[in-house]
Structure 1
């Protein structure tokens, strides 16, 4: 087992795993215990009382974080020529169609989000093996297959993220950076949690939000009191 550095030991000492903090206090503490020498990601892990193996208990959705993710999201807009100018003006990093489809076919996936139009989805089908495992396949449910490509690009650039519960019943999401003010971390976390609560499946019985933990890159996890959200 790797030895903890002095800063990591100090961070561990500040976190009482048996104590649940309010979301506001946890959002402030996560900044204190971040010791890496780069702008660490702040991550939220929410365990839900659902069985993701059942279609009627799958939790998936999108949320626009009020303060963005702090990440420069690279967007590829796969559009027909008549939509290229709109996508470029909206801030898409890469805009085109056939040339990018060929690049993806050859293994290029150096983007975070792909946005496209319904009429183009037929061409993307054969690329599912490349895009699917990387979470890049556009989906109407997440707003990445739309006729209003410009709006979708602007929303993603502004901090719109999509999320889904994993096979263990946990939703993981990056909600900001350690350089954010504690209030901004709190407000982003609150927005995601409230969105999850609204998406509670009717088939989910018992406690829905079972636990919430917040952490930063390589930091200990902080237990959040679910009654505080």
Structure 2
């Protein structure tokens, strides 16, 4: 078992005890998620995170990884969705579950600094009008994007998928994909199925430009607690 480090001791006795449960090895997915449910140091229902390091040259456009995946059991988080749609689709979007739906009025709210949503979707006909707020939304990772599946003619379907747990997976500047795959309370089986869905989607999204080792490492962790390496 892993011995407590100076850092883990600094984090507290509880963290040090949990860290000792994790060995310095890579675990099969089923064992990793089983262990994950035992190492959270949070006093609340922690989020299950996964960090996937990709063997990509970040200066090459043909090596960037970006995909979406529908988690079988969702993320455990209720997402607030804003829909930029024509007038005739506003009620449809609201009935589908959007907390905000509109066009010019919604743009004006955001220009005024009011952003009260987690994900934005847009009808293609509204994309031009989002130019005024593209920088604001982009800085927060909220700008609708065709590659993320958030620019769509079928807003109702997209909102439904997002509510059920469709997530986007993309690399940061260091070539690492950070995302979540549920809550610790989901238990090992559901967490394993969600994690497997993410790993499969990322494998299928391998860009042709990456010729060497594609996935370098996979680490899972509770939002508060030690990381666990997963066998590739």
Tell me the TM-score normalized by structure 1: 0.95
Partner of 1:101: 107
Structure 2 unaligned spans of 5+? 1-6
Partner of 1:148: 154
Partner of 1:12: 19
Q: Are residue 68 (structure 1) and residue 82 (structure 2) matched?
A: no
Partner of 2:47: 41
- What whole-Å deviation, never above 9, does each CA across 1:140-178 have from its counterpart, x for those lacking one? 121111111101100000100112111211111111111
Match of 1:218 among 199, 224, 229: 224
Match of 1:192 among 174, 179, 198: 198
Residue 225 of structure 1: CA displacement? 0.9
Partner of 1:183: 189
Provide the secondary structure at the position in 1 that maps to 2:127. Answer: helix
Q: Distance in 1 between matches of 2:123 and 2:222?
A: 35
Q: Are residue 82 (structure 1) and residue 82 (structure 2) matched?
A: no
Partner of 1:126: 132
Q: Distance in 2 between matches of 1:114 and 1:168?
A: 25
- Confirm or deny: 8 A CA contact 1:52 1:59 kept in the other structure: no
Output the aligned Cα RMSD: 1.2
Structure 1 unaligned spans of 5+? none
Residue 5 of structure 1: CA displacement? 2.3
Q: Distance in 1 between matches of 2:109 and 2:175?
A: 35
Match of 2:179 among 173, 181, 188: 173
- Confirm or deny: 8 A CA contact 1:53 1:167 kept in the other structure: no
Q: Distance in 2 between matches of 1:103 and 1:31?
A: 41
- Confirm or deny: 8 A CA contact 1:52 1:165 kept in the other structure: no
Residue 14 of structure 1: CA displacement? 0.5
Partner of 1:58: 64
- Confirm or deny: 8 A CA contact 1:163 1:171 kept in the other structure: yes
Provide the secondary structure at the position in 2 that maps to 1:32. Answer: coil
- Structure 1 moving runs of 4+ over 2 Å: 1-6
Residue 53 of structure 1: CA displacement? 2.0
- Confirm or deny: 8 A CA contact 1:42 1:176 kept in the other structure: yes
- Confirm or deny: 8 A CA contact 2:104 2:129 kept in the other structure: no
Aligned length: 225
